[in-house]
Chain A
Amino acid sequence: MQFPLSVPQKSERDAAFLSYTRSICPTCKKVIDAHIVLRDGAVHMQKKCPRHGYFEVEISSDADYYMKSLSYTKPGTLPLRFATRVEHGCPLDCGLCEDHLQHTCSPILEINDRCDLTCPVCIVRNQQRYSMSLEEFQTAVDKLIESEGELPIMLLSGGEPTLHPKFFEFCDYVLRGPHAGKVKRLLISTHGRLIANDRKFAERFKAGGMYASLQFDTLKPGVYPKIRGVELIDMKMKCIEVIKELDIPTVLVPTVSKGDNSDELGALIDFGVELDQVSSIVIQPMAHTGDGGDGYHGNPAGHRLTMPEVHELIAEQSGWLKRDSFHPVPCSHASCYTATYLFRMEDGRYVPLPEFVNVRQYLDAMANRAVIRSDDALEKMILDAITELWSATKVGEGSEVILKSLKNFLKDTYNSRNPLSASEIERRTEARSKAIFIHAFMDPWDLDVARLKKCCTHYVMPDGRLMPGCSYNNLYRHKDQRFFPHAEPLSPMPVPVTAEDRPPVTSSPRLPIVQ
């Protein structure tokens, strides 16, 4: 009989378990279990595919921020209809299924897959073959309006949507067709070449009333070749000149890749807030998915930018924004969207609303919204802020400037001597305020069904289904018969809701939700 030389010692795992979720294997895309764990002040996702092994990725560089951000949540809003049954479990029932926790705030319609750029960071898979027909587009928009009623924003994307031969007809259908007035803002996701180089196109774009959602990644030469495959700096700056000249309302959208342009966040924000035409800046940390993103880094570990890192970089680089200027937008998951809203003061400086309003009220007022608008919650927040600032024992110079700015804004906007229409008031409010959003898309590495379930950024399918952005990009896009006619169909397939499945409408349609 042999005795071991030493007794085996049990060891501890290297991380503390926080929660369980489901994700996918980055290699085969099969749905697998995943653990969210805490280690060294950061948050990681750990998962193991039976065939392809163990994967781990950092999902938040700051565990404290992560925990705090999860503590705030609001009930989602039910869409007017669901399209698919709960059959296989998230994320395999997309369309939306009845288990989805949020309606559509930001619908995306991909009207083509043709593009004249091949960006190394591109998250889609352009096959250069698909152009949505006008009939398909109309059906998709009709069904979307049927699901949502009204929409604060809609985004046309691609491919490069401005290359679609019926681009303006599509825009007209949304803004002036049978649903005129139902979509408040129509955004066009574009690289901006046609606006920069084709005067007639730019003038028609302006006349059409669309917003340019302009990919705008850098202010320095040498960066675009890395992340967009070709130098675009001159074209982008020319595009900005045209936007200024024609007064085209614009959203700047920098895609940020760690080490490539992550040192420019402060400069990009300063550039954006100084442009009257720019209503918001949407910073998108790079997601490693799609034709470009999939291969941009062999292993994205170490190349990711998580939400708190982006806040930190902005605070470091801007000098006037702080980490806690940013808060999760409660309509989506805390790890998907954060934002800060800025108010322009009399002296031209911008001040983040969280600096002078109650943060809890701020989060309530910003719940379930993609754009700032006048309502009871916003008014209460502003009035309370005014009262707090005014009644403070010490009124600092900053408080006085804020109070004077707010008063003059109200006097100018709601004054019978110069009556404004509702749309003019909205426009004036928008000119006085700006928003900075951080929108983190997921890739196969960090895909988390807990985030998917609350997604409010949805791709609109021609058959009217609504696919949460990151489930579509990671699980459905490469099987979409529009782009990949020879792809094997999805297995299992989402099951459509039939008329019999639809629950009776009750006077209180909200699902019970425990906060």
Chain B
Amino acid sequence: MSNGAEDSSRKASREDAAQDDGGHGLLSGQRVLVTGGSSGIGQGICAVAAREGARVAFTWHRGREGAEETRAQVEAAGAECLPIQANLSEPAAAARTVAAVEEAWGGVDVLVNNAAVSESVPFILLEDEDLLEVMELNFMSVFRLCRAAVRGMIRRKRGRIVNISSIASCRAIPGPVHYAASKGAVDGLTRSLAHEVGPYGVLVNAITAGIFDGGLRSTIPEHHQQRYLSGCALSRFGQPAECGELVAWLGSPRNTYMNGAVLVFDGGTLT
């Protein structure tokens, strides 16, 4: 049985593959939007995307210095850069951000939802506002950005969304409950959205990241970091650029079949 959406998906895949053949990098010619690009994993994703030939837009909130550093890295790779200051916890910010990229470059081909917040507070001390505050950025902004970006992707019958999740979403590990819940929500959104928009050439995946240098690592007490290292087959933390490499492939036209996957990306750690 065939329908129009499936035809679109196959056609888009063939076009993606053809586009890849002609490009110089995995993301050659792609318009990539990365949220939370001023530090840690987000900065690494931006740098690799630029190296792979993408035009890179990224959001930042408070870290002006980090944003300048990201811009410098992107431009040093010879890529166009569009830094956007945005507080993605505000409901209207997601649509404004996508609109800004669409206005500048005509659309968003790859959306990477990376911006997140965490704080180490035990469950019994959490109040509603603590949970809502974390959910607002970690989940609601992902929902809103997907909704804003996927419209153009469906119209073009091509798009890639990569959500940066956490191993806290799928494993019983020490970690703040509200943070783990927000990442679990992102995993669910990823699987379900992949099913809904995949037929229109939009592939949606998530990466459940282990501990990476920079970013949220600072919210993890030192002894938990050491325990992670002792259970990690590679005995080290991930580097932001390593996450960037996986994002680059997932977001690239070369990825034509990986969809709805929630990929554990942690150097091989024990559960």
Number of residues on chain B facing chain A (CB within 8 A): 20
Q: Which of A390-417 contact B (CB under 8 A)?
A: 390-391, 403, 406-407, 410-411, 413-417
**Which of A391, A411, A414 is the one whose CB lies under 8 Å from B220?**
A414
Residues in A with CB closer than 8 Å to B227 are 376
CA–CA, A386 to B125, complex, Å?
8
Number of residues on chain A facing chain B (CB within 8 A): 25
Q: Are A416 and B116 in contact (CB under 8 A)?
A: yes
A487 is an interface residue with CB less than 8 A from chain B: no
Q: Are A390 and B124 in contact (CB under 8 A)?
A: yes
> Which one, B150-158, B211-219, B263-271, is touching chain A?
B211-219
**Which of A374, A390, A421 is the one whose CB lies under 8 Å from B221?**
A374
Residue on B with the closest CB to A377? B223
Q: Are A374 and B223 in contact (CB under 8 A)?
A: yes
The answer to whether residues A403 and B125 also contact, given A414-B219, A419-B219 and a CB cut-off of 8 A, is: yes
Q: Are B219 and A407 in contact (CB under 8 A)?
A: no
The answer to whether residues A407 and B221 also contact, given A416-B215, A417-B62 and a CB cut-off of 8 A, is: no
Inter-chain contact total with CB atoms closer than 8 Å: 63
Q: Are A411 and B222 in contact (CB under 8 A)?
A: no
Q: Are B223 and A376 in contact (CB under 8 A)?
A: yes
Within the complex, the shortest CB–CB distance from A181 to chain B, in Å, comes to: 14
CA–CA, A417 to B115, complex, Å?
11
CA–CA, A416 to B89, complex, Å?
14
B 123-150 to A, binary, CB cutoff 8 A, 1 in contact else 0: 0110000000000000000000000000
CA–CA, A495 to B116, complex, Å?
62
**Which of B62, B121, B215, B218 is the one whose CB lies under 8 Å from A411?**
B121
Residues in B with CB closer than 8 Å to A422 are 222
Within the complex, the shortest CB–CB distance from B59 to chain A, in Å, comes to: 15
Residues in A with CB closer than 8 Å to B229 are none
Q: Are B215 and A419 in contact (CB under 8 A)?
A: yes
Q: Are B218 and A419 in contact (CB under 8 A)?
A: yes
CA–CA, A390 to B124, complex, Å?
7
Q: Are A406 and B125 in contact (CB under 8 A)?
A: yes
Residues in A with CB closer than 8 Å to B118 are 415-416
Q: Are B218 and A414 in contact (CB under 8 A)?
A: yes
B 205-243 to A, binary, CB cutoff 8 A, 1 in contact else 0: 000000000011011111100010000000000000000
Q: Which of A408-439 contact B (CB under 8 A)?
A: 410-411, 413-417, 419-422, 425
CA–CA, A383 to B216, complex, Å?
21
Q: Contact residues of B with A, CB < 8 Å?
A: 39, 62, 116-122, 124-125, 215-216, 218-223, 227
Besides A410-B120, A415-B120, 20 other CB < 8 A contacts? Answer: A376-B223, A376-B227, A386-B122, A386-B124, A387-B124, A390-B124, A390-B125, A410-B119, A410-B122, A411-B121, A413-B120, A414-B119, A414-B220, A415-B118, A415-B119, A415-B219, A416-B119, A416-B215, A416-B218, A420-B218
Q: Contact residues of A with B, CB < 8 Å?
A: 373-376, 379, 383, 386-387, 390-391, 403, 406-407, 410-411, 413-417, 419-422, 425
